[in-house]
């Protein structure tokens, strides 16, 4: 019998993140350099304190603590369907995933779309038989 996978199987693991002591300028530079739109901010023990969104932060030397947005934090073992339903109901575009209360990954609408596209393709993928090319 098939099981619904946990969100940890679909997340982006070990995402870029920034320590709370950083500046917004450093955050913007990191995000632009790596082409990312959301950046978790953590304390020195990797507990998530909030999130920065590239479109919502200016180029300023202010501390990131002044620009943090709240973000849902879920356990990596949460069922994927529960996370997707919560995201749809609350219009969340991103959730942070934790393991033992520490940052483990992120899951965004982009991850959801990629997972859904892969699922739609499954019936049409080659079976992997012994046919010669």
Per the structure block, which two tokens stand in for 21? Answer: 């002591």
pTM exceeds 0.75 for this model:
yes
Kindly state the percentage of the chain with pLDDT values over 90: 85
Reference 104, options 30, 48, 50, 43; nearest CA is 48
8 with 15: CB under 8 angstroms? no
CA-based nearest residue to 113, from 82, 84, 72? 84
Which strand (E) or helix (H) includes residue 38? strand 38-42
What is residue 125's predicted lDDT score, i.e. its pLDDT?
76
- The single-letter DSSP state of residue 68 is -
For domain 7-123, give the fold: CBS-domain (3.10.580)
Task: Provide the residue ranges of all domains of the chain, joining segments of one domain with +.
Answer: 7-123
Per-residue pLDDT tens digits for 26-68: 999 999 999 999 999 999 999 999 999 999 999 899 999 999 9
Q: pLDDT digits over 109-126, tens only?
A: 999 999 999 989 988 877
Q: For residues 74 and 23, what is the distance between their CA atoms, to the nearest angstrom?
A: 26
């Amino acid at each position: 019998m098939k099981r619904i996978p946990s969100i940890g199987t679909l997340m982006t693991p070990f995402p870029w993140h920034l320590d709370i002591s950083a500046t917004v300028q450093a955050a913007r530079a990191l995000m632009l350099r790596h082409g990312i739109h959301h950046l978790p901010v953590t304390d020195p023990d990797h507990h998530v304190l909030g999130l920065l969104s590239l479109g919502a932060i200016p180029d300023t030397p202010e501390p990131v603590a002044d620009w943090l947005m709240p973000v849902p934090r879920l356990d990596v073992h949460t069922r994927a369907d529960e996370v997707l339903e919560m995201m749809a109901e609350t219009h969340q575009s991103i959730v942070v995933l934790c393991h033992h209360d520490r940052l483990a990954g992120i899951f965004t609408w982009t991850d959801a779309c990629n997972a859904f596209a892969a699922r739609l393709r499954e019936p049409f993928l080659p079976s992997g038989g012994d046919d010669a090319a």
